[in-house]
Amino acid sequence: EDQVTQSPEALRLQEGESSSLNCSYTVSGLRGLFWYRQDPGKGPEFLFTLYSAGEEKEKERLKATLTKKESFLHITAPKPEDSATYLCAVWDTNAGKSTFGDGTTLTVKP
């Protein structure tokens, strides 16, 4: 059974205080690791796709990296508008489905 574990569950930062979110996964046929942002009451918003270990993607203050067992979402100098829940998901090509983690809820205080 595929497993995706995200840590920490919640993270509170001061504006400008950089940090990282972790996503550990166990999947038999990994074909893509995805990061999404979700605001309360809304559907997830796609951020990044990573396909192979060593791959990195960047967008504004966010940078996603991938190893064979985990992925990190680095947030540099966050702003209050970065406050949201960040979800990690994997696509298992053997099982033919996605598995999501339970997310990290980020709060950035001004």
Chain residues that interact with another protein, rule: CB under 8 A: 4, 31-32, 34, 36, 41-46, 49, 51, 87, 89, 91, 93, 95-103
Q: Shortest Cβ distance from residue 46 to another protein (Å)?
A: 5
Tokens of 96: 């033919």
Q: Shortest Cβ distance from residue 32 to another protein (Å)?
A: 3
Report how far residue 2's alpha carbon sits from residue 19's, in angstroms, rounded to the nearest whole number: 27
Tokens of 8: 């920490």
CA dihedral of 12, 39, 96, 92, whole degrees rounded to 10:
-20
Radius of gyration for the alpha carbons in the chain, expressed in angstroms and rounded? 13
Q: Shortest Cβ distance from residue 14 to another protein (Å)?
A: 24
Query: Closest CB to another protein among 15 and 51?
Result: 51
Q: What's the one-letter identity of residue 26?
A: T
Of residues 75, 77, 68, the one with CA closest to residue 50: 68
Contact between 57 and 50 under an 8 Å Cβ cutoff? The reply is yes
Query: Closest CB to another protein among 20 and 52?
Result: 52
Query: Closest CB to another protein among 96 and 110?
Result: 96
Q: Shortest Cβ distance from residue 59 to another protein (Å)?
A: 13
Query: Closest CB to another protein among 26 and 98?
Result: 98
